[in-house]
Amino acid sequence: MKAKSAAMLPADFRSTFLDGLTSREIETVVKAAEQEPISPHQILQQEGARADRLWLLVTGRVAVYRLAQDGDKVFLRWGVPGDTFGLATVLKRPERYVVTIEAVQEGSLLSWDLAASQALVLRCPNMDKALNAVVADYLDNLIDVLGAYAFQPAEQRLARVLLESARQLGRSGTGGIELDLTNEQLAVAAHMTVFTATRKLSKWQSMGILTKRRGKIVLPSLSRFENDWKGTAN
Amino acid sequence: MKAKSAAMLPADFRSTFLDGLTSREIETVVKAAEQEPISPHQILQQEGARADRLWLLVTGRVAVYRLAQDGDKVFLRWGVPGDTFGLATVLKRPERYVVTIEAVQEGSLLSWDLAASQALVLRCPNMDKALNAVVADYLDNLIDVLGAYAFQPAEQRLARVLLESARQLGRSGTGGIELDLTNEQLAVAAHMTVFTATRKLSKWQSMGILTKRRGKIVLPSLSRFENDWKGTAN
DNA sequence: CGCTGCCTTGAGTTACATCAAACGCGGTGG
DNA sequence: CCACCGCGTTTGATGTAACTCAAGGCAGCG
């Protein structure tokens, strides 16, 4: 299905990638895209496979991870509307995906196949810069993850994951910011077992700095949670 | 000191960055550079500081790390001749370094200040692509580090560090590949204490799959070590 | 009203960090 | 040539965060 115009994007749509282009270029780019719905558990790209499309998440949520040699998933980040993936398609040779991406919510994406994306790079002088910005952002983000998550105790990792996730996926509802995440999803994102995650979360709940129902977490507020948590001397 | 020509680079010099440019562009770029010697412990850039130069390591070795909030260093990678740093100078706004880099050996670098590097981006049409390639490489590397080092047991991290380091910094000598690294440097790179590193290394030595003197490790060969180590059922 | 899947709790185990202490290589000066 | 010194290294004892496994509770759905 060919996308007819930029009008198909939500009004408040923000994307690092598109922001790097002129509005005329955005028009061109969006017109060349195919739109496609996605559903939970669908694998959108697989590391090692030939990178044959560049794509942009329009709605929904995806998980970006890498497969360890022993087969389990090393979570890297969430993908939210506006995020661009499959950059290997245009900037690596041989073009192979380096990460695996799986949808975790209903949603939709815009995509460009190999030929189309390479043509766009030639046609739009700002494409290189726009891609640069996207890659640089990912790099920054990963350095943060490595520096701040990877070599810190489980509790701090979990707290950070909660904050980041709340920022990206939180809906504000009665009593604070609601997050649709199961203990297991949090555990994966914070790189720990479900058991450890449960214990920390329970502890926090009994301290009154968050509340939780099955499959849902509610933080009073971002700054509130951050302060409360730091105040508990770990 | 202005660099006079590309002739000042070693004959066998390889750089992902320069490889992305035409030979005419390389000429232009190198002519615009300043050359500077570096010595151990010298801080070449500091995270958070204003990014005011783009630079290329010509000879020597540097360590790239990030400072955690509690002040200790989170090692990210070695930098070797041909590696480019300070990319934030041209591709981030506001331009701030995101990592700290420290020299660990005598050597030299070529650098371009803020104005010069931005001018080069405008003058050389392939700069964007060349920078892209560099950033994409770093991203790949970081994903590897995250996936393979960060969430694996200490022994596997150390083995990987040895292999990577040998590849980058190893000299081949009598009896195999020699590495000038202290236990402490290895420990930092593999994110563990010196004690743990010592124990693992001693174990391997007593198994006969490597030898070590003070400040030096000798691996029989890359593939040999890799196989031997895997064969020991961890 | 029972079933299924998420969640919780506890007990046992392990890998690794921490700390204290001593060893020995390799340089330096007598 | 020997005595010394300092730093990189080694070893052991101890503590602990987090994983594993087993079992049971409970929410929400049919």
Q: What is the pLDDT of residues B140-193, one digit of tens each?
A: 999 988 888 888 999 999 999 999 999 988 888 878 899 999 999 999 999 999
Sheet holding B62-67, edge to edge: B43-45, B100-103, B62-67, B73-79
d(CA A75, CA A191): 7
Please identify residues in chain A, positions 177-216, with a C-beta within 7 angstroms of any atom of strand D: 191-193, 195-196, 213-214
CA→C1' distance for B217 and C27 (Å) = 20
CA→C1' distance for B142 and C13 (Å) = 33
DSSP of B31-54: HT-EEEEE-TT-EEE-TTSB--EE
Q: Which of A195, A194, A198, A207 has the alpha carbon at shortest distance from A234?
A: A207
Over residues B97-109, the mean pLDDT reads: 91
Rounded to the nearest angstrom, the minimum Cα separation between B141 and chain A is 10
d(CA A107, CA A130): 24
**Residue A3 Cα distances to A27, A85, A110, A121, angstroms:** 10, 18, 8, 19
Prediction pTM value: 0.88
C-alpha B2, offset from chain centre: 25
**pLDDT of res. B204:** 94
**pLDDT of res. A4:** 46
Q: Which residue of A has its CA nearest to B89?
A: A136
B201 touches strand D (CB under 7 A): yes
Contacts of A225 (CB under 8 A, 6+ apart): A159, A162, A163, A166, A209, A210, A219
CA→C1' distance for A154 and D17 (Å) = 9
B70 band by pLDDT with thresholds 50, 70 and 90: confident
Q: What is the pLDDT of residues B192-222, one digit of tens each?
A: 999 999 999 999 999 999 999 999 999 999 9
Q: In chain A, what is the straight-line distance between the N-terminal and C-terminal CA atoms, in Å?
A: 52
Q: pLDDT 10s digit of each residue in chain A, 234 long?
A: 544 455 568 878 999 999 999 999 999 999 999 999 998 888 999 999 999 999 999 998 899 999 887 777 899 999 999 999 999 999 888 999 999 999 988 899 999 999 999 999 999 999 999 999 999 999 999 998 888 888 899 999 999 999 999 998 888 887 789 999 999 999 999 999 999 999 999 999 999 899 999 989 999 989 889 887 776 655
Sheet holding A176-179, edge to edge: A171-173, A176-179, A216-219, A211-213
Handedness of CA A189, A191, A195, A199 (dihedral sign): negative
d(CA A199, CA B106): 50
Question: CB contact, 8 Å: A68 with chain B?
Answer: yes
The answer to whether the CB atoms of B91 and A132 lie below 8 A apart is yes
**pLDDT of res. B4:** 46
**pLDDT of res. B230:** 74
d(CA B121, CA B132): 12
- Which tokens hold the place of B176? 């195999």
Q: What is the pLDDT of residues B121-132, one digit of tens each?
A: 999 999 999 999
d(CA A125, CA A137): 20
Q: Which helix (H) or strand (E) holds B121?
A: helix B114-123
Question: CB contact, 8 Å: A43 with chain B?
Answer: no
* % chain B with pLDDT above 90: 69
Q: Which nucleotide has the shortest C1'-to-CA distance from B203?
A: D10
B7 band by pLDDT with thresholds 50, 70 and 90: low
A54 touches strand D (CB under 7 A): no
Please identify residues in chain A, positions 180-199, with a C-beta within 7 angstroms of any atom of strand C: 182-184, 194-195, 198-199
CA→C1' distance for B104 and C26 (Å) = 22
The chain-wide mean pLDDT, for chain B, equals 90
Residue B233 pLDDT greater than 60, yes or no: no
Which of A17, A64, A85, A128 to mutate against chain B (most B CBs within 10 Å)?
A: A128
